[in-house]
Amino acid sequence: MKLIRDPAVPETLDEPAAEARPPARPRDVPHTGEARFDSALARLALLDDIVEHLPTSVLLKEVRNEFRIVRYNRAAEALYGLSCDEALGRNAYDLWPAEEADRIFAADSELVALRRPQEYPERLLLTRGRGKIRVHMRKAVLFDAQAR
């Protein structure tokens, strides 16, 4: 196998870079509001497709709406044993026994209060069909433009 070196990238940090190429520009795309809207929709669709096909469970909850699930991917379906239709729009109390829901709600509330990612290396997780399993779970809180 032969490696091909990009002349725009220096071999060492001391070597100056060659003349950099200008960034690629989209061709024949009109700069209208409609084109930007279509482009934004295409990017959102791509991002949605990426999240859907991640091999890691993704479960997005809306804090201001009682931690209701607003995004749930295929890996989450496989892990929890709940279909997307069963999970979307529901919270822990709609899906699990009260004791389990209390534990989930407490962890979610703590996450929001701390305002930083949390890691649970040996988390017991109740599933449908497989009972309780041990998972390594990471949770992160996302903020809106007003940092809420």
93-126 per-position pLDDT tens digit: 999 999 989 999 999 999 999 999 999 888 888 8
The domain made up of 48-139 is a member of CATH 3.40.50.2300: no
Does an H or E element contain 112, and which? helix 98-114
Does this model's pTM top 0.75? no
Q: What is the pLDDT of residue 5?
A: 46
Q: What is the pLDDT of residue 8?
A: 45
Please report, for the chain, the start and end positions of each structural domain, with discontinuous segments joined by +. 48-139
Tell me the average pLDDT across 60-82: 92
The values of phi and psi at residue 9, to 5°, are -105, 120
Q: Which of 57, 63, 108 is nearest to 82 (CA)?
A: 57
